[in-house]
Amino acid sequence: MESQNLSCSICLDRFQVPVTIPCGHTFCQVCITVHWDTKAKGGMDTQCPICSETFDPRPALKRNVALSHLTEATDQEGRGATPVPRQSNAAPQAEVLCERHKKPLVIYCRTESMCVCYECAIRECKNHEKILAEEEKEIREEGLKKKSREVEKHREDTEKSVKELSENINKAEVSLQQTSHWVNAKFAYLVKVLMEKQESTLTFMEHERQSILCQAETHLGMLQERAQRLGEIQGQIATVQAMPYIQLIQESRLVEVPRMQDIPLDVSTTLQDRLNTVTDVLSRISKLVLEDLEKAINTAIGQDKQGSPQDKRPVLAVVPSPAMPSSSAIKDGLSAFHCALTFDPRTANANLQLTQENRRAEHLVSGPRQVPPHEARFDTSWQVLCFQGFTDGKHYWEVEVSKPWAYLGVTYEGIPRKEKSKRCMVGMNELSWSLQLDDRQLSAWHNGRRETVTGHTQHHRIGMLLDYEAGTLTYYGDGQTRLHAFHCAFTQKLFPACWIGEGVIVTLCPPSNRNHVLS
């Protein structure tokens, strides 16, 4: 009982500087001070923790001298009394003592963020923010409960997310697999159809070839038989001529010249005309596969960062393609196809002067020269063809242009040469293809149809690659940037052609300059 009378009802330990408040209850000075400070912060009245009597104003604390002496005397006899612990559902824990004062750590100093004993609280943490360790423990426990609830919610949300993501992965795997199967099946089907159509078309062409040649062989046999018969008649005439005149007169009546029926000599075929629709479709497919599909795949995998939008208009047999800055003449390995060209003076317009062994063409600002008339010459169009022409294989050449006012391309031999119209210009008819160099932009031309070429417009040197079998004509700027490509089913001999503006000089670059050009 004595032990209980000497214990603070707040900390349940022996009094440390006991003070008695107006209602008569006694507490440790630090305990009651911290208790009232805590209540004041919460906006609560100053009350006795035991009887709840309210004090206004807050009373001054004075030391209970008698109880202090009694406590000190009891401490001198021995400190064996065990403080009454608070009721708790938790398992009993070993009491932690202050290393300096060997007293329980019952006060929590918020300023120092540590538990201290009463003596430390009075002496060293006098002006610090303090609270009973037990109350701090309850606050912390409440905080831990709140955190536990938050963690539990996060855990439930995470488990829900794991489940949802797993389901989405399964769905995505199914979707990706379906897409893969679709693309693979579509490619396989298209290849199968193309092979079938190729086989049926080639079979038809072979049948037509045999039919045409068979008819021509029949006509050839008839002509050979006629020649043989005529030879026999010629021999008969010679025999009669050698006879005596009486016999000659009689036998000559038997010699007759057979009637000659016309036998067709032309081996004409309408196969090319009949296959025009097929070649048109093949040209569109070629453009779609070699340009549009390649661009779409590069865009899908993030490689193609530039290029013009897809052409939404109907595609003709020959369709210009967008610029591809990533491709170059060097990359395409064109040195093996570089060829030597010369201008054909018979075709040169009178305003064009050819020099440097017909490798340099200049449009004279002084006016036309005196040139002999020729059926191959362009009379009104400022144009010239090259002497060399191509019916197969790959051929690459480069031209230097002094300033951007020219049309560079290829043409069939049948291009108009005498008309006073744009139809004589390369690219302005169905027989030719060209790239127009201009200060503001580049343009591709075929059959009078213009297509704007995106990208850099100032190019001093233009490279051209003709792949006759593939049906492509590709342009390169300064030997580096792939500017444009035509796709077509070529059917006749192609000649490089240049339309040259006034004051412009176009020079054909010889193959010997290739290393310098592409270095």
State which of 216, 251, 274 marks the end of a domain. 274
pTM passes above 0.85: no
Report d(CA 293, CA 180) in Å as an integer.
17
Sign for the CA dihedral angle at 472, 478, 482, 486 comes to: negative
Q: 274, 295, 318: which is the final residue of a domain?
A: 274
Residue type, 509: C
**400 and 469 both lie in a single domain:** yes
Determine the pLDDT at residue 89: 47
In tens, the pLDDT along 46-62 reads 999 989 899 989 999 88
Residue 498 covered by a domain? yes
- DSSP notation for 300-324: HTT-----PPPP-SPP-SS-----B
Residue 102, domain member (yes or no): yes
Domain-located, residue 87: no
CB atoms within 10 A of CB 318: 23
Q: Are residues 291 and 270 in the same domain?
A: no
Residues 206 and 310 in one domain: no
Instruction: Give the chain's residues under pLDDT 70.
Output: 1-4, 76-94, 303-332, 479, 512-519
* Domain of 53, in residue numbers: 2-78+94-136
123 lies in the same domain as 187:
no
Instruction: Verify that 166 and 130 share a domain, yes or no.
Output: no
pLDDT of 190: 87
Please check whether residues 332 and 408 belong to one and the same domain. Answer: yes
Question: Is 118 part of a structural domain of the chain?
Answer: yes
Quote the DSSP letter at residue 262.
Answer: P
pLDDT at 517: 38
Give the residues across from 462 on adjacent strands. Answer: 399, 477
* pLDDT for the residue 456: 76
Angle at 452 between CA 307 and CA 295, to 5 degrees: 25
Q: What is the pLDDT of residue 491?
A: 86
Of 79, 518, 178, nearest in space to 328 by CA: 518
- What DSSP letter does each residue of 95-114 carry, written as one string? PPB-TTT--B--EEETTTTE
Token reading at 481: 């940037």
Number of domains in the chain: 3
Structure token digits, residue 314: 């109907």
Question: Is residue 157 located within the same domain as residue 290?
Answer: no
pLDDT at residue 508, as a whole number = 97
Question: Do 296 and 268 share a structural domain?
Answer: no
pLDDT in tens, 405-461: 999 999 999 999 999 999 999 999 999 999 999 888 899 999 999 999 987 778 889
The reported pLDDT for the residue numbered 314 is 34
Let me know whether 122 and 182 are in one domain: no
CATH of the domain at 409: 2.60.120.920
Q: In 3D, which of 192, 34, 234 has the Cα closest to residue 125?
A: 34
Domain membership of residue 89 (yes or no) is no
pLDDT of residue 153: 95
pLDDT at res. 87: 44
Bridge partners of 360? 355, 507
Asked whether residue 333 falls in the same domain as residue 319, the answer is yes
- Residue 83, domain member (yes or no): no
485 Cα distance to chain centroid: 20
464 and 369 both lie in a single domain: yes
